[in-house]
Structures are given as C-alpha cells and as structure tokens.
C-alpha cells in the first residue's frame, strides 16, 4: 500500500492526514492531531514555530511507528506570516502572528488603490507588505533569507529554501501582470529583493529529507511543495465547476476560480482579492472573518459548550439581529461576546444574551455576509451563480448550511470536508503521476466522498459511490 501525507496546519490546529488509493477511490486517515495557537509575549502575538516543527516531526514519526510510511509529504499553512533568517541560516527573532497589532499604526489610505491595481490583492492590515513595512529596521538589516511559514518548515525538513507561489501571492509583493516580485513594492516596505528565494509552483519536489532529519524520523520521505497556502489547496478540491466556492473554517474564503485576474475599481471597493492558485489559476475571492468568531465565543464561555452544542442551542433560541462580521473590531477582541453585545448596544439595539442567541446571531450574520459578498461577486463578474460549493471543516455545520441556502436562495453543495488536505494530496498525486491532472483529481474526489445538497431550509443527501469521510 502506498501512502501520501498531507500536513495541514491551521490557525487553531494541525493534522497529519494519510491518503491511500483503494478500489480507485481516495481513502483518508487522520494519523495525528495537535493544537496551534498564538502566544502573547511582550505585548506581541507570536507563533511558536519550534513547537510546530516538533509536532510536524511527531506526526511523521507516528506514520513510521504504524508502519504507514508515506512516499511523499506536503505541508500547507495559513498565509501572510514569514520568518527571517540570518547569515547562518538561523531564525533572527520570533515569528509574528498576523493578529499582532504592530501594523495598526501603519495605515496609509492614499496607497490602497495604487497597491491594489499593482497587485490585485485586497487590503488587509496584516498583509505581508504592511508587516514588512512596519517591521523593525534592525531585523530587516540582519535578514539574509525570507521564508513564509510553510517554506520555513520545509527548510527545516530538507535544508532547501524556496518561496512557494500561491502563498507568495498573498504577500501583496507580486506584480499581478507578471506574477513576480515588484521592486517598487519592495522599496515601499524597504526590503531588499536579495532575501527572497526562487519562487516555485505547487507540485515541485524538494527531494529527500535532510540526513539529520532522516536520523530523527528513522526513514527518508520525498517532500513535495503543494499549494502551501491552505486556501490554495482547499480550492483545488472544489468539485462544482462554475460555482461560488466557500472555503469555510477559521476564515471564510468566498469566491470563484478564474484563469485571469479581475482587477477593477469595483473589485477593489468590494475588497476582492486575486490570489495565485494551482497551475496558474487565480482565486478571485473575499476574506470573511469566518468561524473564528464562534471559536472565540466558545473560548469566552470557558469551552463549556462544544461547537455541536452551540449549534443545538442556536436552533432552540433564534435571534434575528445581525452584525458586520468583517468589522476589524472582531479580529482579536479581548472578549468576543462583549464585543458582539457592544456592537448592538452602540446602535441602540437589543444584543443577544444567552449562549444560544449569541451562536444563532453569529451564524445568521455570517450567512448574510456571504449573501452580500455573492451579490458583489455577481455584479463584478456580470454572471449569476446558481450553486455554492461549501468546502472545509465548517461545512459540517448543518444549521449554517441551511441558513446560507435560505438567505442566498441558492443551491448549496456541501463537501468535501477535508478539502485542504485533499488539495495538498492532489498536488502530490499529480506530481507522482498517480493522477493525470487537476480535473481527474476532482473527479476522483467526487467518486470518493459523500456530498449533501441543501435547498432553502431543507436538504437532501446526495451520496456518491463511497463514504470515505473521516
């Protein structure tokens, strides 16, 4: 049996997902899981990158322990964050998290339009370009190498330094016309072009683990660079052509897949972005705050309720008010519950009170935000989309799926759940010539996993030939 390993690291957790092909279908097995979180030190938020490497290695060793050694592995993570190395190949400092507030003072509204037209990337205050621009001059002076988080983990595994294209496209440092680094943009953030690596496309092989890493793990495995931006991998696993794609997780990424970027004043005002995808595709999408909000609500309740319990409470206690989930006040508030309540109080509206009302309010607000984003998308593209394909872990929330179908009045196809891991694995399977191309890979996903269809408040299950969901 041949195995292929996707190491999928999100903002709140990471998983090692093993893939095998059995009876012409994809079979997935979660082999290892670990938590991820930001750490507050000296009034700044950081990622514990040493801990992440330790967990990455632990999950690979678990595969070896179970005698399920993968032929290849690939790592994907969130976007925009980066690591700077000195001339000894050592990390200069801590790895800042995108929710850190160091960029708050670096706001230049007069630059937004110019940057958007140059890059096609939406404004987010934590975009890499703003992080670099606000970065400490001493750090930048010492920097010899720039690696994004998955690039850095690959470097620690193989000793090889590359910058992967789909993640680099999120930095707002690439010229949208050439998909190469822009000297003008690097000058804007006072960063030397020499610190960047050769940019590679998803499906590039980095070859073997380093000799030191082989000794630690106990075997050799070929490392393949997937779409290292998790949304880039997730969109590879979307199964409905010509549909709106909603990758639902900590963040919600709503948009379409295109072969050409869309860079207009209308798309800029609606804050849509053009991120690079597999095989020179683009993800024309909008970032929406997503299930981060309910994750924080759960944390504020001391994790008294599971996410499933919050859904059931929401069904019992409806609350019709909605709030703007994209308001920056919800990016990293001290208390999400208090922030939501204050939002309504500031407008002289009655806020949600109980756990059920708060949860319902969050889901309902997300559904309305998706509706607005789809209306903007249809206006920009001059097309009407009849179907929404919801992918990722968030698509397990049946109540939210029902709300989306009801509010948008569109057909909702749900699945696959493990879209990011599947996209990661598809890049490996294509590189290994197990699967011919992306189209064939998507057909294989359709054959392998259960999908559900929602219409209005009701849904009917449309089961494909197998049920290999985790």
The answer to whether the CB of 212 falls within 8 A of the CB of 408 is no
The candidate with the shortest Cα–Cα distance to 83, out of 55, 38, 48, 59, is 48
8-state DSSP, 278: G
Q: Specify which residues 76 forms β-bridges with.
A: 8
Which one is catalytic: 93, 230, 324, 437? Answer: 230
Map tokens 């998790």 to a residue.
230
The answer to whether the CB of 21 falls within 8 A of the CB of 434 is yes
- Between CA 224 and CA 227, with CA 226 as vertex, the angle to 5 degrees is 160
- Between CA 34 and CA 41, with CA 37 as vertex, the angle to 5 degrees is 140
**Other beta carbons within 10 Å of 61:** 15
The candidate with the shortest Cα–Cα distance to 100, out of 120, 119, 125, 75, is 125
The answer to whether the CB of 361 falls within 8 A of the CB of 367 is no
The candidate with the shortest Cα–Cα distance to 314, out of 351, 356, 355, is 356
**Other beta carbons within 10 Å of 265:** 10
d(CA 258, CA 365): 28
Q: How far is CA 322 from CA 165, 362, 368, in A?
A: 37, 8, 8
Phi, psi of 311 (to 5 degrees): -65, -45
Specify whether the backbone of 175 is left (phi greater than 0), alpha (psi in -120 to 50) or beta: beta
Q: Does residue 179 have an active-site annotation? A: no
Instruction: Cite the active site residues.
Output: 230
């Amino acid at each position: 049996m041949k195995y292929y390993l996707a190491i999928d690291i999100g903002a709140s957790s990471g998983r090692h997902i093993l893939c095998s092909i059995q009876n012409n279908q994809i079979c997935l097995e979660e082999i290892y899981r670990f938590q991820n979180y930001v750490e507050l030190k000296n009034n700044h938020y950081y990622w514990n990158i040493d801990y992440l490497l330790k967990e990455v290695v632990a999950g690979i060793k678990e595969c070896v322990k179970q005698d399920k050694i993968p032929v290849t592995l690939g790592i994907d993570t969130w976007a925009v964050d980066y690591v700077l190395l000195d001339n000894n190949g050592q990390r200069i400092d801590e790895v800042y998290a995108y929710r850190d507030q160091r960029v708050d003072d670096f706001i230049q509204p007069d630059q937004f339009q110019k940057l958007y037209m140059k890059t096609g990337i939406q404004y987010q205050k934590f975009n890499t370009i703003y992080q670099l621009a606000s970065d400490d001059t001493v750090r930048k002076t010492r920097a010899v190498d720039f690696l994004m988080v998955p690039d850095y983990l690959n470097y620690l595994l193989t000793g090889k330094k590359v910058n992967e294209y789909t993640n680099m496209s999120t930095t707002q440092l690439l010229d949208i016309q050439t998909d190469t680094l822009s000297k003008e943009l690097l000058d804007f953030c006072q960063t030397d072009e020499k610190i960047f690596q050769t940019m590679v496309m998803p499906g590039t092989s980095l070859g073997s683990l380093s000799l030191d890493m082989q000794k630690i793990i106990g075997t050799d495995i070929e490392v393949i660079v997937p779409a290292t931006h998790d949304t880039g991998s997730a969109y590879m696993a979307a199964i409905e052509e010509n549909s709106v794609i909603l990758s639902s997780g900590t963040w919600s990424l709503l948009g379409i897949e295109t072969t050409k970027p869309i860079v207009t004043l209308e798309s800029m005002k609606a804050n849509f972005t053009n991120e690079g995808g597999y095989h020179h595709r683009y993800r024309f999408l909008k970032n929406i705050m997503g299930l981060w909000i309910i994750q924080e609500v759960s944390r504020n309740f001391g994790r008294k309720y599971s996410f499933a319990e919050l859904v059931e409470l929401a069904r019992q206690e409806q609350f019709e008010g909605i709030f703007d989930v994209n308001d920056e006040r919800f990016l990293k508030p001290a208390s999400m519950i208090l922030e939501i309540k204050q939002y309504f109080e500031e407008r002289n509206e009655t806020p949600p009170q109980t756990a059920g009302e708060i949860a319902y309010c969050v889901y309902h607000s997300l559904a309305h935000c998706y509706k607005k984003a789809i209306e903007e998308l249809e206006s920009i593209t001059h097309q009407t989309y009849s179907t929404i394909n919801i992918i990722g872990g968030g698509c397990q929330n049946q109540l939210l799926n029902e709300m989306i179908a009801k509010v948008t009045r569109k057909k909702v196809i749900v699945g696959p759940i493990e879209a990011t891991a599947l996209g990661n694995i598809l890049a490996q399977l294509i590189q290994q010539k197990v699967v011919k191309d992306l189209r064939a890979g998507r057909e294989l996903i359709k054959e392998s996993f259960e999908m559900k269809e929602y219409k209005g408040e009701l849904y009917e299950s449309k089961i494909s030939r197998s049920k290999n969901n985790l």
